[in-house]
Amino acid sequence: MIYKGSSGYVASKELIEAVNVAITLQKPLIIKGEPGTGKTMLAQSIAESLKMKLIVWNIKSTTKAKDGLYFYDTVQRLNDARFHDRDISDIKQYIKLGKLAEAFISEDRAVLLIDEIDKADIEFPNDLLNELDEMSFYIPETKETIVAKQRPVVIITSNSEKDLPDPFLRRCVFHYIEFPDYELMKEIVRVHFPDIHRELLEKALKIFYDIRKIGELRKKPSTSELIDWIRVLMASAVDIENISVKNIPFIGTLIKKEQDLEYLQRAYLR
């Protein structure tokens, strides 16, 4: 089973290699990099090209490691006990499996994306150590052990907001995606807009990279913003000649923070 990239996704040689290493060693792959470097899309591309099911576990600041395993709905059971709605002796019906468990019990090998792991509490990755190592876990309530039928391909993304704990990292393969350079970005844009006018592409990219160079911005525009911006530019048929750093049409698609917009207006757009 070798991943070779897929048609709708531009992956560097290194990224493809890292994916294959993770598949061979059967270890989770941690993908780090700036927002907009296509970290989340990678899992989709792997699932697509290897014809596997994709299971996405989106991590939020409130997500606990246990959420990925199972959830025992005690409140529902209590409620049922009170109103005698259902037979409450069967605990199984109150156990709801999480995303990790879903990937484990899948008959065919699945791709599990643990998206933005750094959003969760600092203890989160450590709480998953055993489960990812053994690819199994135990549910004490039903005395059941859930074992992975096929070890899923685990892709973990992180925005480098927080460093991940060492014991966790030791068990993973790691790759840092650099922000695409001018040439690679051209290729990426062309995947989205195959018939884009060459002049528009170059002008848009130049302005995009100029804005990214401004160190004072709170949120630099990333690939997805660039794609959105180009989409509007193409749909609105703006005169290419008139676009410059001083005159950026639809700047709201590129710059999302009010403070940044104010800053740009003060510094450049006057």
Partner 1 sequence: MSLLTFFYLLRAEGIKITFKEWKDLYNLMKSGYIKNISDLYFYGRYVLVKTEKLYDAYDRAYIKFVNEGGDIKERIEELLKFLDEEFDKRVHRDFEEISLDEILKRFNERLKNQKEKHSGGGKHIGQKGYSPFGSYGTARDGIRVGGEGVNNRAFFVASERHFKNLREDVMLDTRNITIALKKLRSFKEDGLEEDVDIDETIDKTAKNFGDIDIAFKKERRNNIKLLLLIDNGGSMEPYRDKVEKLFSSAKNLRYFKDFRYYYFHNCIYDFIYEDIENWKKFPTAKLIREFNPSGRLY
Among 87, 107, 166, 241, binds partner 1 (CB under 8 A): 166
Among the listed ranges 51-59, 155-163, 198-206, 246-254, the one in contact with partner 1 (CB under 8 A) is: 155-163
Q: Are 76 and 86 in contact (CB under 8 A)?
A: no
- The site string for partner 1 over 219-258 (x = CB under 8 A, - otherwise) reads ----------------------------------------
Among 62, 89, 236, 242, binds partner 1 (CB under 8 A): 62
- For residue 71, the minimal CB distance to partner 1 (Å) is 12
The string over 27-45, giving b where at least 16 C-beta atoms fall within 10 Å of a residue's C-beta and e elsewhere, is bbbbbbbbbbbbbbbbbbb
What is the rounded CA–CA span in Å between residue 235 and residue 189?
A: 15
Among the listed ranges 71-79, 101-109, 147-155, 236-244, the one in contact with partner 1 (CB under 8 A) is: 71-79
Among the listed ranges 20-28, 42-50, 223-231, 248-256, the one in contact with partner 1 (CB under 8 A) is: 20-28
128 lies in the binding site for partner 1 (CB under 8 A): no
Helices (H), 193-254: 198-213, 223-236, 251-254
- Please identify, using beta-carbon distances, which residue of 76 and 227 lies nearer to partner 1: 76
- For residue 2, the minimal CB distance to partner 1 (Å) is 11
- HSE on the CB side for 91, CA within 13 Å? 10
Q: Which residues contact 200 (CB under 8 A, 6 or more apart)?
A: 230, 233, 234, 240
Q: Are 227 and 192 in contact (CB under 8 A)?
A: yes
- For residue 255, the minimal CB distance to partner 1 (Å) is 14
